[in-house]
A and B are shown apart, each in its own frame.
Chain A
Amino acid sequence: MEKKFFERPIINKINAGIPDKFGMGNQLNPISTIDGVAVKDLIAEHGSPVFVLSEKTIQDIYQDAYQAFSTRYPKVQFAWSYKTNYIDAVCRTFHKLGSWAEVVSGFEYQKALENGVPGNQIIFNGPDKNEADLRLAIENASLIHIDHFDELYLIIRLADETNKRPKVAIRVNMDNGIYPQWDRFGFNYENGDAWNALNRIMLSKKLDLVGLHTHIGTYILAPFGYGNAAKVLADLAIGLDRKYNHKIKYIDMGGGFASKNTLKGAYLPGSDTCPSFDEYAEAITNALINSSIDPENMPVLFLETGRALIDDAGSLLGSVIGNKRLKDGRRATILDIGVNMLFTSFWYEHIVVPAQATSKYTEDTTLYGPLCMNIDVIRDAIQFPSMKIGDQVVVKRVGAYNMTQWMQFITYRPKVVLIDRKGKVHTIRNRENIDSIRSLEVVPDYLK
């Protein structure tokens, strides 16, 4: 007689609460392949855990975003936000699609140059640009977005010393109707700092004021905030034209578009609540087109969106290390995926699904990472099926920030692979090993 399939016995308490009219089910549909490549083969070949990026998804999402803006506005240019994911293969994928580079440090600037981006197609943002960084950016005619007055005066001095006209924009922050209002970057509009900075640039006659920039926040769910911010930048552009007869070449609306991940504490999943590219595009382009900017001299619209372009293209594959019961009877499953590599689990309720068919019976489960640290929690509470040691899981939408904000802590950072359009898998960053970490350490002679 053929033996029956065994699944772990489960008893779940039935909690009769107020029915949820949205009726979200607990059913977890396993993800066994990514772009046609089996998860088990990816783990067998590249180890567990491993980050997997999909070139197809990157291209599809980029085209969606580009289409949303370019069908509404005549001149659109995307710039890839390096800090979101600066693995060279990822940056080059975006550059091949037509993106310029948006960098926020000397390190990222160097990476962009080495990725073949011409200097005049690099936008240099952020508060941390030292003198050497600025000299290089001026030499390369990069677009320097000034963050504060000290930086402005330093650039004026460097213009004198180098005998060049640096190409600059200012970053502007303003009350655009959303909360929190970011005011730590750039010059404030309402208190007059933005105009002070513009006046100083224009009166110095040493800098080439080419653009205006804002970046209103991150994971912004309210497109109207962008519309209001675009109105402010349009107002400044019109003012510059009237006062100095100076036409700026571009308006840079920054990034901050939400991806479809669900924030902790959100009632509905991000996939239901996040605005589409069309909604963001509608708000921004309407504000610019309806402004009094001369239609013959409409500035190029720059966008630096990162998260919304890359998050969906990344998955993190991992394996189950073990199971246990917590004090209150809740199941805990320990994965080899920890917060050291999945930094975004601090603010997202990531979608975690098994990579193989599992029981339809689920239990309230906490998913822990492998670190010997209490904070290493991937999901506090998730309805999850019973998993055995070695069973594999897929964490969805992890392409943004994890491969830059990850920590080398307790264990190695994992390998990253890219699946190209033809389904071929390429290693784009190797797993760390003891040498990659020790190569930076120096033991003093007296301790040898």
Chain B
Amino acid sequence: MMKIKKNIAVSESGFVFDAGTGETYSLNPVGVEIVKLMNEGKNQEEISNYFLSNYEVSQGIFESAYFDFVSILNQYNLIER
């Protein structure tokens, strides 16, 4: 289960502030929802089910988008290890 680091603030509008580095980021609305679900402690399967039932998307497309997104969060060092 992945979570966003504790010292990272995420606003409802998708503005992200990393207090550790001072870097700022912007998320699109789907990105905001995924980060919110991650912070609620949902695992990948739960997040995937949420999107499949609420969004017009197939499992394959969601998974490739999800893993791509997580790889970028990792790249920016925003995920707790």
Contact B25 A6 (CB under 8 A): no
A14's partner among B24, B53, B55, B66 (CB-CB below 8 A) is B24
Contact A9 B66 (CB under 8 A): yes
Chain A residue nearest to B66 in the complex (CB): A9
Tell me the bound Cα distance from A9 to B27 in angstroms. 7
Chain A residue nearest to B52 in the complex (CB): A3
Tell me the bound Cα distance from A6 to B30 in angstroms. 7
Tell me the bound Cα distance from A323 to B72 in angstroms. 14
Interface residue B54 (Cβ < 8 Å from any Cβ of A): yes
Tell me the bound Cα distance from A175 to B71 in angstroms. 56
A12's partner among B26, B33, B55, B61 (CB-CB below 8 A) is B26
Contact B31 A10 (CB under 8 A): yes
Shortest CB distance A169–B (Å): 61
Contact B28 A7 (CB under 8 A): yes
How many residues of B sit at the interface, in one of the four size bands? 20 to 34
Which B residues, 27 to 81, have Cβ-Cβ distances below 8 Å to chain A? Answer: 27-28, 30-31, 33-34, 51, 53-57, 61-62, 65-66, 68-69, 71-73, 75-76, 78
Shortest CB distance A386–B (Å): 8
Shortest CB distance B32–A (Å): 8
Contact B57 A6 (CB under 8 A): yes
A5-B56, A6-B56 as given contacts; A11 in contact with B73, CB under 8 Å: yes
**Chain B positions within 8 Å of A10 at CB level:** 27-28, 30-31, 69
**Chain A positions within 8 Å of B61 at CB level:** 6, 388
**A contacts with B: majority SS:** loop
Which A residues, 375 to 390, have Cβ-Cβ distances below 8 Å to chain B? Answer: 388
**Chain B positions within 8 Å of A11 at CB level:** 16, 25-27, 31, 69, 72-73, 76, 78
B72's partner among A3, A5, A329 (CB-CB below 8 A) is A329
Interface residue B12 (Cβ < 8 Å from any Cβ of A): no
Contact A6 B55 (CB under 8 A): yes
Tell me the bound Cα distance from A325 to B76 in angstroms. 14
Contact B54 A325 (CB under 8 A): no
Contact A14 B25 (CB under 8 A): yes
Tell me the bound Cα distance from A12 to B53 in angstroms. 27
Interface residue A243 (Cβ < 8 Å from any Cβ of B): no
B30's partner among A3, A8, A388 (CB-CB below 8 A) is A8
- Additional pairs, 6, CB under 8 Å, beyond known A9-B27, A11-B69, A323-B68: A4-B54, A10-B27, A13-B76, A325-B68, A329-B72, A329-B76
Interface residues of A (CB under 8 A from B): 3-14, 16, 323, 325, 328-329, 359, 361, 388
Q: Can you list 13 A-B contacts (CB < 8 A)?
A: A3-B54, A3-B55, A6-B30, A10-B27, A11-B27, A13-B23, A13-B24, A13-B76, A14-B26, A328-B75, A329-B72, A329-B75, A361-B28
